[in-house]
Amino acid sequence: MNYIKIFITLFAVLCGGIFNGTALAQFNQTILFVPHDNRPISFMQTVSNIRALGYNVITPPENLLGNRDDLGHPDALAKWVSENAEKADFAVLSADSLVYGSLVASRKHDIPADVLQQRAAASFAELHQKYPYLPIYVFGSIMRTPQTSAASSEEPEYYRLYGTMIARYTALLDKREKDGLKGGERQELANLEKSIPQTAINDWMARRAGNFEVNKYLITLTQNKDISYLVLGCDDNAPYSQTDKERRELDKYAGQLEADKYQSVAGLDELGMILLTRAVNELEGDIPFVNVHYAEGRGADTIPAYSNEPIKDSVRTHIKLAGGLQVNTAKRADLVLLLNTDKNGITYAANDPGNTTELRANTASFADMAGKYLKEEKNVGIADIDFGNGSDNALMNLLWQRGYLPKLKAYAGWNTPTNSSGYAIGLGMLSSYTNQQNTIKMLIPRYLDEWLYQANIRQQVANKLGSFKGEGDYGDTKTRNAQAQEYATELMRQDIIKYGLDKLPGEAALDRAEVRFPWHRLFEAEVIIPEK
């Protein structure tokens, strides 16, 4: 018996720790959840993991959530939350959805400051007054700083022209504040100030200032105990950036708020999964122990793309956010988390031609490490962050050859590295509450999305898109969307059979899986898995 874990868990419960007095008093086994948009990974893929454990997750009608074109309906969402919260043991709520309408809306809105304040008060302070015993977990974004103009589809129109310069300009301002500038950098800053239209920089900074005040208000609500737990995530970020500057200032404003009440973290899209996992851990009355290991090379000190800190710091924070505890040995760990990092600490793009099945310097040794812990019958999870937005083909091919894929407890390799590591932590913790067949059901969407689609099929569809009738490209498939979906579905079914994924327990229906592009772009896909 793990007496150390029992003692720590009881101590946390008695002292208020990560629990809010609900862990030992389970009611409806129900969590109310509002995501920050309707993307599959943000919404139903995450929800399905919680439901697989037998929990009831109440979600709003999808037409109230934001998407690429519809920026959301925050007032209707707040009304829905207020009307449904009485059914829940926990509420996990996106501040971006309830204040701005959606994550994309938070970057493009022109909403007056007083309206933002009123929405935040109605969504959280008034909700707490109405349901004083309901733990309210809130996750919000510290507005991102895209490093290039390529991200312009989710930014104001001027970012398409000046985004790269705006990112560099604010990075130099941040560096000047933190470390000082060299002579050439001072001149570069002056040149950028002249090159960026004042109207563009004024608009961008004014919106940021408004969002910053909303985040300060959310911290105040947390200090007043209207919000039980607040997490502010840094969307696309860098060590020198306006996002990192605002994070530092918000952390300072939070002051002495306990770590079990407030946290900022690198990463954002994974936070819904992380806080849902925290709620489950509280309902289960458990604090999962997580032992962490990295691939050979730079490993734990890797500063991945879209982040401002070493991955070891993000992982430690994500474990804490999810209600777990990082431990130094695998002996008593509930989860052994392995992070696949590039030997030199570089994040590549998963759709890059270099992402092949040819083994790299540390691929075999990483697979050997996974095999070692699987042989010891440990619960093994893998965060595949060598590449951004997709799996490492060499690693996945090797894990498949060795028969490790159906034995894992968690896997993630989507979007940014911190998205993947956070999601893998949540998935690994949740898997301890169910059997391996249910765990496989949670793993399959990750294998189909990150490995088969993102790292392979995505580029094949992109290469053929121009030959389809109609109009459309990678970023907006337009009238070619149906043809792209049909071709991606054909490739997906071929790969499912090739790798025998339809032969896994309970997965015979996989050979009828379908691929959809709900946001009419190839960057993300929804893989629909039919019932038996």
Average pLDDT over residues 186-208: 96
Q: In this predicted model, what pLDDT tens digit does every residue of 279-323 receive, in sequence order? A: 999 999 999 999 999 999 999 999 999 898 999 999 999 999 999
Average of per-residue pLDDT values in the chain: 93
Q: What architecture is domain 19-147+208-284?
A: 3-Layer(aba) Sandwich (3.40)
pLDDT tens digits for range 433-448: 999 999 999 999 999 9
> What Å distances lie between residue 139 and 263, 365, 426, CA to CA?
10, 37, 15
Residue-wise pLDDT tens digits, 399-425: 999 999 999 999 999 999 999 999 999
**Alpha-carbon distance values, 306 to 268, 310, 312 (Å):** 11, 11, 15
Q: Are 47 and 37 in contact (CB under 8 A)?
A: no
Tell which residue, 409, 428, 417, has the closest CA to residue 265.
Answer: 417
Domain spanning 289-434: CATH 2.60.40: no
pLDDT digits (tens, 9 = 90+) for 453-505: 999 999 999 999 999 999 999 999 999 999 999 999 999 999 999 999 999 99
pLDDT single digits (tens) 338-365: 999 999 999 999 998 999 999 999 999 9
- Residue 24 pLDDT > 50, yes or no? no
Q: What's the confidence (pLDDT) of residue 531?
A: 77
Nearest Cα neighbor of 134 from 271, 229, 220 is 229
In this prediction, residue 19 carries a pLDDT of: 44
Distance CA 409, CA 396 (A): 15
**pLDDT tops 90 at residue 153:** no
Nearest Cα residue to 231 out of 383, 388, 330, 93:
93
pLDDT at 101 over 70: yes
pTM: 0.94
pLDDT recorded at residue 26: 46
Half-sphere exposure of 314 (CA within 13 A, CB side): 37
Choose among 153, 186, 149: nearest CA to 166: 149
Domain spans, the chain: 19-147+208-284, 149-195, 289-434, 462-532
- Per CATH, 19-147+208-284 and 289-434 having the same topology is answered yes
